[in-house]
Amino acid sequence: MVPSRADESEPSVRDAGKETAKETARLETFVDGVFAIAITLLVLDIRIPEPGEDLVVALARQWPSFVAYVISFLSIGVMWVSHHRLFQMISRITTTFLYLNVLFLLPVAFIPYPTALVAQHFQEPDARTAAVLLYGLVSVLIAVMFNVLWRYATRHRLLSMAPGEALGAVRGYALGPLAYAIATLVVFISPLLSMAGFAGLAVFWMLSGREGAASG
């Protein structure tokens, strides 16, 4: 067999492909780990009533903790599915993209904090607005960072498909920051309505993503 330039380059191309798959896999493991931990830590912030308290009354009184648990759980779940779908289209990564993912995870891993604030301070009229406002600002930041990931990936050709073709899959992402900003501003009308907005957005992404099959 006569070694030609093409023959020589082929194995290295294949190796690079394997390397990239391994790269992407390791980034996904780290990202999935942070998502899985953040979503599971939410439960630690639900207060356990003290011995001596009437348990049923105490649990009923802290209903905002349970509602906040469900809303944050669904929101983190939706973010994870979105990240998952973005990474289905990623065929290679760069060091900058690694760091952008770290920056994306910073507010994601922070979610248990504003969730705890809302849970524990929702029944104080003065604190309620501030707690929900912080919750909303973190949600907006995550939506913005998600778009940063997406834009970087398309501009630096990290995708395995044409950006136009990929666009269909993530059309909703660009609207994320705006939608979360509106739900956040609603806090000045009603903190309860604002939280309902965050819940509604999570359910909306879940239902709107439904028809698309994750594979094939």
In the chain, what's the furthest Cα-to-Cα distance?
85
Task: Kindly tell me which of 88 and 147 has the beta carbon lying closer to its own copies.
Answer: 88
Task: Kindly tell me which of 39 and 179 has the beta carbon lying closer to its own copies.
Answer: 39
Task: From 78, 101, 83, select the one nearest 27 (Cα to Cα).
Answer: 101
Q: CB 89 → its own copies: shortest distance, Å?
A: 11
Task: Kindly tell me which of 55 and 193 has the beta carbon lying closer to its own copies.
Answer: 55
Task: From 194, 176, 198, 178, select the one nearest 186 (Cα to Cα).
Answer: 194
Q: CB 92 → its own copies: shortest distance, Å?
A: 6
Q: CB 97 → its own copies: shortest distance, Å?
A: 7
Q: CB 158 → its own copies: shortest distance, Å?
A: 10
Please tell me the chain's helix, strand, coil percentages from 3-state DSSP, rounded to the nearest 5: 80, 0, 20
Rounded distance, CA 151 to CA 140, Å? 16
